[in-house]
């Protein structure tokens, strides 16, 4: 069975999930994007927003479009190199941060996706993803760009935290040392690992 076939089975299970309150208000489960058979990296974002909930695809709104631009500049193919997920599969009302309980309820799906895809590295996109997989009090602005080791399903993965593109929508400068410049540097490091 290919990775895509295994994930299609898992998605069927996920589609009927009502383990937490987010399942009651969703329009769509936002399961993943990208090609699991060719993906080198899993990128984990925070949670689906309005556009993601309406389309069932992660990172398709303004932040997603900005992420696409950075990926192109770094030479990473969104469709071939990445498998994209979030810490929860259903949109939190008013785009609030998902609660620890909601993330815990969804964790089993996330861990099984990681196990099936078995990536070369995991990209923790934004503070919510970082805190969900790495225990630290260091803010993302200080820890981003460093190679970390994280343990998922008793397997150790290389991981790197990067800024969430929604943060970059509020920070426009590409000057050396500014968040957008750092984002590109981080993605280039991931590409060259």
Q: Residues 26-55 vs ligand SF4: string with x where CB under 6 A?
A: ---x--------------------------
Stretch that binds ligand SF4, among 20-28, 33-41, 59-67, 122-130 (CB under 6 A): 20-28
Least separation, in Å, of the C-beta of 102 and ligand SF4? 6
Q: Report the alpha-carbon distance of residue 85 to residue 103 in Å, rounded.
A: 13
| Residue 129 binds ligand SF4, judged by CB under 6 A | no
Among 19, 115, 188, 189, which residue sits at the site for ligand SF4 (rule: CB under 6 A)?
A: 19
Stretch that binds ligand SF4, among 18-26, 117-125, 161-169, 185-193 (CB under 6 A): 18-26
Q: For 7, left (φ over 0), alpha (ψ -120 to 50), or beta?
A: alpha
Cα 169 to Cα 104, 145, 179, 186, 193: the distances in Å are: 29, 19, 10, 17, 27
Enumerate residues 6+ apart whose C-beta is below 8 A from 47: 86, 87, 88, 91, 92, 95, 97, 98, 128
Cα 76 to Cα 34, 73, 154: the distances in Å are: 12, 8, 28
Angle at CA 108, nearest 5°, toward 107 and 110?
Answer: 65
Measured in residues, the chain has a length of 193
- Using the minimum distance from each CB to ligand SF4, give the nearer residue, 105 or 113: 105
Least separation, in Å, of the C-beta of 96 and ligand SF4? 13
| Residue 179 binds ligand SF4, judged by CB under 6 A | no
Among 53, 81, 102, 186, which residue sits at the site for ligand SF4 (rule: CB under 6 A)?
A: 102
What residues line the site for ligand SF4 (CB under 6 A)? Answer: 14, 17-20, 22-23, 29, 88-90, 102, 105-106
């Amino acid at each position: 069975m290919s990775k895509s076939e295994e994930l299609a089975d898992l998605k069927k299970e996920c589609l009927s999930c009502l383990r937490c309150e987010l399942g009651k208000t969703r329009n769509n489960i936002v399961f993943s994007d990208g090609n699991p058979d060719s993906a080198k990296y899993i990128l984990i974002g925070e949670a689906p927003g309005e556009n993601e909930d309406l389309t069932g695809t992660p990172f398709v709104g303004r932040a997603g479009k900005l992420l696409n631009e950075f990926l192109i500049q770094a030479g990473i193919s969104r469709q071939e190199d990445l498998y994209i997920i979030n810490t929860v599969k259903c949109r939190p009302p008013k785009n609030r941060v998902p609660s620890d309980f909601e993330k815990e309820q969804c964790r089993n799906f996330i861990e099984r996706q990681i196990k099936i895809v078995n990536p070369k590295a995991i990209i923790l996109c934004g503070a919510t993803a970082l805190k969900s997989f790495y225990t630290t009090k260091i803010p993302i602005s200080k820890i981003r760009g460093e190679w970390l080791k994280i343990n998922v399903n008793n397997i150790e993965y290389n991981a790197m935290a990067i800024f969430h593109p929604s943060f970059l929508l509020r920070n426009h400068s590409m000057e050396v040392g500014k968040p957008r410049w750092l984002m590109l540097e981080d993605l280039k490091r991931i590409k060259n690992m």
